[in-house]
Amino acid sequence: MSDRSRIDRLSVDLGQRSYEILIGRGLIAEAGKLMLPLLKQKRVIAITDSNVAPHHLEGLERSVRAAGIAIDSIVLEAGEQTKSFTGLEGLLNQLLEIGIERRTTLVALGGGVIGDLTGFAAAIALRGIDFVQIPTTLLAQVDSSVGGKTGIDTPQGKNLVGAFHQPRLVLADTATLDTLPRRQMLAGYAEVAKYGLINDPQFFSWLESNGVDVIERADGPLRHAVLESCRNKARVVAADEREQDARALLNLGHTFGHALEAECGYSDELLHGEAVAIGMVMAFDLSAQLGLCTLEDAARVQRHLASVGLPTSPTWIDGREWSAERLIRHMGRDKKVQDGRIAFVLAKGIGQAFFPAHAALEEISALLETAIAA
């Protein structure tokens, strides 16, 4: 690593399951040395995807071998559809064929798809082995690599099968974002903005002035956004690891967003971050409709997300027919449902999200009908 690229360190405080998040430019070159003290065996298996491998796998393998660690690599097909029963079966088969032991560590090198899938495989292979996260998308660096939510999508809904399984270490190399397509940067930005909207109004105001620079990958703003997002997430996860309470706030926009994703069949038509952007606008619109926040708050959320180039309405997808009824059916399978009632994260203003909030079915239908007709 060059001198100018210092390492920022945060910790996720979870007692015996505590771990560090390291953020820096060029960290992959140090990955072997950094993970060595945590390994139970000088052997790892890297799992990555077909888009990430050509850019970043060789660098990881080199740094791991230089630290005296043996490495095998598995390259999966890129895309959300790999985060499925079929993808999981394929990965587990490859791991068992290559041969893993209880002391082997898996290394997830990729975005949220690779992180969630590898983490879940690590949670269940041999009844649980260690894994390390090396996130390579903005979304994964600010959100999915931290907190131990692992799992797969099913036709019934997002992440309906999974486990809480914390990584041993998170290495966020911001240089990997140099090769990330712009659409993916934008999608990750939705989860960055989410932290401001939940409980950090100053951060949201900062994003209103600096969001474009974050998306353009300007060094300082990008580093600040990743660091603040991870700080925020680490605090929430440490307070409520298994989402009994406050962690549900991290689901702002997701009740709507996950339903939109499921309707699109987890295809490239709508990325997770894009769905979350639309979902957050809908959550603020519902909050305004219920008189919880002002119309201006809701308009401000919509304005900012639209101004950076994110979608803010389901009608963003050309030619797709939406059905409020089908979306409500998906929302009814959300993991936050309580006694059969959909429980939302809503907001009393920017940075004032709360959970649980309920709305009458007619209110939800009215909101969806307006959103899909707009």
Ligand X SMILES: O=C(O)C(=O)C[C@@H](O)[C@H](O)[C@H](O)COP(=O)(O)O
Ligand Y SMILES: NC(=O)c1ccc[n+]([C@@H]2O[C@H](COP(=O)([O-])OP(=O)(O)OC[C@H]3O[C@@H](n4cnc5c(N)ncnc54)[C@H](O)[C@@H]3O)[C@@H](O)[C@H]2O)c1
Active site residues: 127, 149, 191, 233, 243, 247, 251, 254, 258, 272
Residue 49 binds ligand Y, judged by CB under 6 A: yes
For residue 254, the minimal CB distance to ligand Y (Å) is: 9
Distance in angstroms (rounded) separating the CA atoms of residues 196 and 22 = 22
**Among ligand Y, ligand X, none, what binds residue 137 when CB lies within 5 to 8 Å by partner kind?**
ligand Y
Q: Which is nearer to ligand Y, 187 or 367 (CB)?
A: 187
Distance in angstroms (rounded) separating the CA atoms of residues 63 and 59 = 6
Q: Which is nearer to ligand X, 147 or 314 (CB)?
A: 147
**Among ligand Y, ligand X, none, what binds residue 32 when CB lies within 5 to 8 Å by partner kind?**
none
- Comparing C-alpha atoms, which of 374, 355, 365 is closest to residue 253? 355
Which positions from 236 to 275 touch ligand Y by CB under 6 A, shown as an x/- string? ------------------------------------xx--
Binding region for ligand X (CB under 6 A): 143, 147, 149, 158-159, 191, 243, 247, 250-251, 254, 335
**Region near ligand Y per CB under 6 A, out of 39-47, 57-65, 98-106, 109-117:** 109-117
Residue 25 binds ligand Y, judged by CB under 6 A: no
Residue 166 binds ligand Y, judged by CB under 6 A: no
Total residues interacting with ligand Y, rule: CB under 6 A: 32
**Among ligand X, ligand Y, none, what binds residue 110 when CB lies within 5 to 8 Å by partner kind?**
ligand Y
Beta bridge partners of 46: 73, 107
- Comparing C-alpha atoms, which of 337, 356, 14, 330 is closest to residue 164? 14
Q: How far is CA 241 from the centre of its chain?
A: 16
**Region near ligand Y per CB under 6 A, out of 9-17, 39-47, 135-143, 365-373:** 135-143
Determine if residue 340 is left, alpha or beta; phi over 0 gives left, psi from -120 to 50 gives alpha, anything else beta.
left
**Among ligand Y, ligand X, none, what binds residue 55 when CB lies within 5 to 8 Å by partner kind?**
ligand Y
Residue 52 binds ligand Y, judged by CB under 6 A: yes
Q: Which is nearer to ligand Y, 273 or 279 (CB)?
A: 273
> Which one of residues 63, 73, 105, 144 is an interface residue with ligand Y (CB under 6 A)?
144
Q: Say whether 294 counts as a known binding-site residue.
A: no
Task: State both tokens at 170.
Answer: 């998170």
Dump strand ranges (E) for 307-348.
344-347
If you ran DSSP here, which 8-state letter would residue 240 be given? -
Q: Exposed, middle or buried by CB within 10 Å (0-12, 13-18, 19+), for 74? A: buried
- Comparing C-alpha atoms, which of 3, 58, 54 is closest to residue 29? 58
Is cis: bond before 314, omega within 30 of 0? no
φ, ψ dihedrals at 23, nearest 5°? -125, 125
For ligand Y, the binding residues in 269-288 under the rule CB under 6 A are: 272-273
Distance in angstroms (rounded) separating the CA atoms of residues 186 and 184 = 5
In the block, residue with structure tokens 């990881």: 60
**Region near ligand Y per CB under 6 A, out of 1-9, 139-147, 208-216, 325-333:** 139-147
For residue 370, the minimal CB distance to ligand Y (Å) is: 26
Dump strand ranges (E) for the chain.
8-12, 19-24, 43-49, 70-76, 105-110, 130-135, 149-154, 157-164, 169-173, 344-347, 353-357
In degrees, rounded to 5, the angle at the alpha carbon of residue 193 between the alpha carbons of residues 51 and 358 is: 110
Binding residues for Zn(2+): 191, 254, 272
Binding residues: 112-116, 136-137, 149, 158, 176-179, 191, 254, 272
Q: Which residues bind ligand Y (CB under 6 A)?
A: 49, 51-52, 55, 78-80, 83, 110-114, 116, 136-137, 139-140, 143-144, 147, 149, 158-159, 176, 179-180, 184, 187, 191, 272-273
